[in-house]
Structure 1
Amino acid sequence: MNTQTNTQLPIPDRFDRAKVGEVWRVPYQDRAAEAKIWAKQHNIQPAAKDKTRICLMAIDVQNTFCIPNFELFVGGRSGMGAVEDNVRLCEFIYRNLGTITEIAPTMDTHTSMQIFHPIFWINDAGEHPIPAATVISLDDVKQGKWKVNPAVAYSLAKGNYLALQKHALHYVQKLSDEGKYPLMIWPYHSMLGGIGHALVSAVEEAMFFHNMARNSQTNFEIKGGNPLTENYSVLRPEVLEGSDGRPIAQKNTRFLQKLLEFDAVIIAGQAKSHCVAWTIDDLLTEILTQDPKLAKKVYLLEDCTSPVVVPGIVDFTPQADAAFQRFADAGMHLVKSTDALDAWADLSL
């Protein structure tokens, strides 16, 4: 008999939608005690007893992307996209506490000297590129419009500036050859040790509550620490080898296989056009090499993700929607957080 409950649970009275866009301290000990009472009150069983094993992968639901006025707030077309998405994500977690087996939040994790941050590059005038407004193309590097900042060579290449400059040219060449987004210079964001790196408080609280109520360790997946490549996807960096052909990074094969061992994988997070789309694309690539039918176990929470939109500058909504349609055409499911899980196609509870 399946001890897993597919009945939607109530949302705890203490959950405050108005606080989802704010940063605050989660009272862990209080929530741990409440979770045990909540589990007993609603007959929520330990995750180890689940017959149908479901993973919720929450991509980069961090302050840097999800809190207004932080470094890379994903506003979407509504202007408050990530906040609205996280209200729905928190409520989805609470309602389906007895059904979600494991939650796997990915954590974009950076330091200052990385290939997509301003300090890495410099022009002949001694200026760094303007973040979120500068795209560095292959021609820009070939023509010397932008060069690697010699000052970063000490920390990143043991003083070997020529090797770093060679890598930079190789890097933008690979992005161009493989049809990936060109190199965008981003504001310093998701900085390791900083408040922007942390999960959104309300989401962290919901995940911790799930952890305690279901005795299921939250599975944090760190990405983005390699200074020589972007890492939109948690499953694979943008470039895997250096100019000499030697590997500088590798696919996250361990996590890929773990995801595919679940009966269902539910995906939400930020941003729909970048880290979410890239992660799903890498997951789909792996699925197609193993068994295309596995795509049916993937569910995309369309109302818990938003694309990058910078009013008057760039709007990645069409690209994000096109990517999600491609995923659906491959067999993945586009679903809403408000839908009952037992009504989802191909999900047997």
Structure 2
Amino acid sequence: MRKYRLFGMISAVCIALSVLYSFVGVTQTSVPKVQLTTNPPLEKILPFEAEAEKPQSPVKLTLQAVDASNKPLKNALINVELFTPASNFWLTTDFPIVEGTKLLQMSAAAPDGKLEFQQILPIRGHYQIKVNVSPLIANSFAPYEQTLSLNVRENPVKYRYFAVVAAILLSIGLLGGWVIGGQEELRQGEIAPQSVRLLLSALTIVAIVTLLFINISAEVAEAHGSGHSTTQEPIAPPTQKIQGLEVKLEGDKTATVGRLANFSVQVIDGNTGQPINDVSLQVKAIALEHDLPVFIYKGFTSQEGKLIWLEQFFDGSPHKVEIEATSLPESQRQFAPIKVAQVIEVEGIAPPIYIRLICLFYFTAIVGIGMIIGLLIQQWRKPQLNFK
């Protein structure tokens, strides 16, 4: 009897484990998802660097929508929202106005479930990508959403620059503490020894120069774009009517750092006014100051013959939005590539005053630490000199 009970208990446990394993397996594989890949690989992505010596290229982001069996979804409409890393009060980035904002928003048809675009990532930190996948053909699959994240590490060059600046400030503070700690006897009419007065004068000059540097840098950032040189090559008009087609680029003519600008391109039949939905579009947003592409996308027009997207220009310099329309190989209507373009004036915004004060606080703190170390060394030396 005991053997039967033991056998029954073992069987029940095995059945329960099998059911649980099957349930876990189903929950892991029965959910559609979006796979994210980057080029270059994630560990090699660096944020945008102004005045970089080496040519910079946007990061290629590939979003692949798959079903429960990891097969690519067909005829999907993919909506993407790209968010920049959240702001950090004590550790700001090179573009503090961009922190915690939306960098890109677009909705595009993906016949093979894949959406690819290239985007310059301006700052370090954790980016979020909100993806909504829905069917182009009604009821072909259930819509779903997913939030992806990618981390961009800081450029190692910034750490080296900071180490050099910190070493210089620490040395200044160390020298100051050394001088003050070994101060001379006061002469009649003096409120401080001559060496101390010279040191305080030097520190005052350093503080003034630092404040001037911080404020001038901020003013330059605010006026960034007003004095930039732009490319001299001719720019295509925003509307072209060629070979019976009309391609029209519409949207904002001016933009502001930290805010999205709206754009749309429409392709219609120039004779009938009917939308054309079998046209390939290549979109480029180029920073004219360095002739640097900051956003690239190649896709298709919608059923209404349109492509709509919202984009933020994180650098306060003139940009050019350029679209090239080409015919698809399988399309009955074949035509030569048509380009339309528009120059966008971007208004830069100076960092808030508290960011300047935080930078000054860090500089002052490093000098103060060096001064304390210098004072402690002098206090340690005096008893030894008296003892000798």
Q: TM-score, normalised by structure 2?
A: 0.23
Query: Greater strand share, 1 or 2?
Result: 2
Q: Select the structure that is richer in helix.
A: 1
Determine which structure has more spread, i.e. the larger CA radius of gyration. Answer: 2
Q: TM-score, normalised by structure 1?
A: 0.25
Kindly indicate whether structure 1 or structure 2 has the higher relative contact order, using CA contacts under 8 Å at least 6 residues apart.
Answer: 1
